[in-house]
Amino acid sequence: MNASELTQQIKAVRQRADALQNHAKTSPLPPSEILHDSLEELNTALEELRVAEEEVRQQNEELRNIRYELEVERQRYKELFDFAPDAYLVTNTEGKILEANRTATSLFKISPKYIQGKLLINFVPENQRRAFRSQLISLEKIRQIQDWEIHLQTREHTGFDAAISITTMCDREGNPLGWRWLIRDITARKQAEEQLRAIRNENLQLQEATRLKSQFLAVMSHELRTPMNAILGFSQLLLRHPYNQFPPQARSMVERILSSARRLLVLIEDILDFSKLEAGRLELNLQEFSLAELVTTTVEELHCLAQQKNLTINVYINLKNPQIINDSDRLRQILVNLLSNAIKFTDVGNVNVEVLEIQDRVMLIVKDTGIGIGEVDLKNIFQEFRQVNQCLTRKHGGTGLGLAIVDQLVRLMKGSITVESKLAKGSTFRVELPRVVNKN
């Protein structure tokens, strides 16, 4: 029952009471009968009124419940608004702040009681105000703006970067009443982006420097190789002359020139290979050949080196199909590096070379009983210029480039290399390669 229905009902009761009064005045009936009738009528009217009152009370109760629920809901939204991680503002169409949540007040470093009534433009640095105003003008047409990046300032004029999204609030006719603002502090993101940009730039510069370094090394090595070949060639020629044609000691001097030149040439070749690999300029020359044959001949070449140290090299070949497709020179280079290291760093015992196949991959294992490599050094062993023991390497020679070249070559062949080692027990290097290596 609504208010007008209740008024109608009260009116009807009053009319009935008036009618009763008139009836009593004009009725020929005895007063007791009139009284009886009137009471009866009144009772009925009262009954109806009581029902109406009951209905109204019930409706009041319902209204109270609805109001309570509304209040709970309002409170919930207020909390969501206040504790939101982003700043929320409500302004009128002149940009005057009507409401602000806690994040907004802490973002602008202003107390809640002072933010209301302030113009939002106060928090825009002067040099950005023109742009800000023209955005507000355009907002009247476009109605909403998403993630507009702008520089804002706190009450104390400390600047920060913000991303702003704005929506227009309208009345029933669609006329704008004001704007809702979501302001997100993106200073940290901007700084991270800036840092990332700087790091990328630095990386590019580093890459360029590395490229230039590799190019320089490649050119230098090439230039060094030519005179070195002349030194090697001429000293070999000199050594072919009969003994008596040399003044005393000259022969051993030429021999030393030759061996030093050979060592230098190996070094130059290593630098050249390494710089080519680093610059991604080394190409594999792929062909089909027998892995078993390659291993046997390479071991034979190094046999003499092992013999000088009284070491035996054992070879175990377990291949049903020895044919593979790879770059035979580069694979030999890998094996020579691993084998000469094994010989270099082993004084007693032996060196084992094993070749086996696992489905469409082949495995080369070089195992020695030498000095081994400590746990800490093992992690960096494939890095260029890494040498475990400077004194030992000075004794044995070497540049620390061998394993770095092996590692890069194995990668180029889409294979992998692992090492297991224990100090004073020996080392095992395992190279796993696809049986058929493809060009990229």
> Is residue 428 a contact point for ligand ADP (CB under 6 A)?
no
CA 122, 125, 131, 136: dihedral to nearest 10 degrees?
A: -20
Amino acid type, 269: E
> Is residue 221 a contact point for ligand ADP (CB under 6 A)?
no
CB 406 within 8 A of CB 334: yes
Nearest distance, CB of residue 382 and ligand ADP, angstroms: 8
The whole-angstrom separation of Cα 99 and Cα 47 is 52
The whole-angstrom separation of Cα 405 and Cα 401 is 6
Nearest distance, CB of residue 394 and ligand ADP, angstroms: 10
Nearest distance, CB of residue 220 and ligand ADP, angstroms: 19
* Per-residue interface string for the shown chain with ligand ADP, residues 96-135, x marking contact by CB under 6 A: ----------------------------------------
The whole-angstrom separation of Cα 313 and Cα 370 is 13
- Residue 164 structure tokens: 């702003």
Residue from 89, 277, 302, 373 touching ligand ADP (CB under 6 A): that is 373
Residue from 265, 361, 399, 430 touching ligand ADP (CB under 6 A): that is 399
Nearest distance, CB of residue 296 and ligand ADP, angstroms: 21
Give the chain's length. 440
Residues that contact ligand ADP, how many (by CB under 6 A): 23
The whole-angstrom separation of Cα 184 and Cα 161 is 8
Of 406, 306, 284, 385, residue with least CA distance to 351: 306
What does the DSSP 8-state code read for residue 119?
Answer: B
CB 123 within 8 A of CB 108: yes
Instruction: Give the binding range for ligand ADP (CB under 6 A) out of 148-156, 172-180, 200-208, 368-376.
Output: 368-376
Relative to beta strand 312-318, strand 350-358 is parallel
Pick 100 or 404: Cβ nearer ligand ADP? 404
Pick 131 or 392: Cβ nearer ligand ADP? 392
The whole-angstrom separation of Cα 231 and Cα 262 is 9
> Is residue 407 a contact point for ligand ADP (CB under 6 A)?
no
Residue from 95, 178, 402, 415 touching ligand ADP (CB under 6 A): that is 402
Nearest distance, CB of residue 385 and ligand ADP, angstroms: 8
The whole-angstrom separation of Cα 355 and Cα 100 is 75
The whole-angstrom separation of Cα 28 and Cα 157 is 95
Pick 243 or 385: Cβ nearer ligand ADP? 385
> Is residue 364 a contact point for ligand ADP (CB under 6 A)?
no
> Is residue 95 a contact point for ligand ADP (CB under 6 A)?
no
- Residue 187 structure tokens: 């200073």
Instruction: Give the binding range for ligand ADP (CB under 6 A) out of 4-12, 33-41, 259-267, 365-373.
Output: 365-373
Instruction: Give the binding range for ligand ADP (CB under 6 A) out of 57-65, 161-169, 299-307, 399-407.
Output: 399-407
Pick 164 or 401: Cβ nearer ligand ADP? 401
Of 133, 129, 124, residue with least CA distance to 152: 124
Relative to beta strand 144-153, strand 159-170 is antiparallel
Nearest distance, CB of residue 343 and ligand ADP, angstroms: 9
> Is residue 369 a contact point for ligand ADP (CB under 6 A)?
no
Q: Pick out residues in 291-350 that bind ligand ADP (CB under 6 A).
A: 337, 341-342, 345
Nearest distance, CB of residue 283 and ligand ADP, angstroms: 23
The whole-angstrom separation of Cα 199 and Cα 202 is 5
Pick 124 or 366: Cβ nearer ligand ADP? 366
Number of other residues whose CB lies within 10 A of the CB of residue 76: 10
Pick 120 or 351: Cβ nearer ligand ADP? 351
Of 169, 203, 170, 167, residue with least CA distance to 182: 167
Contacts to ligand ADP by CB under 6 A: 337, 341-342, 345, 368, 370-373, 381, 386-389, 393, 398-404, 427
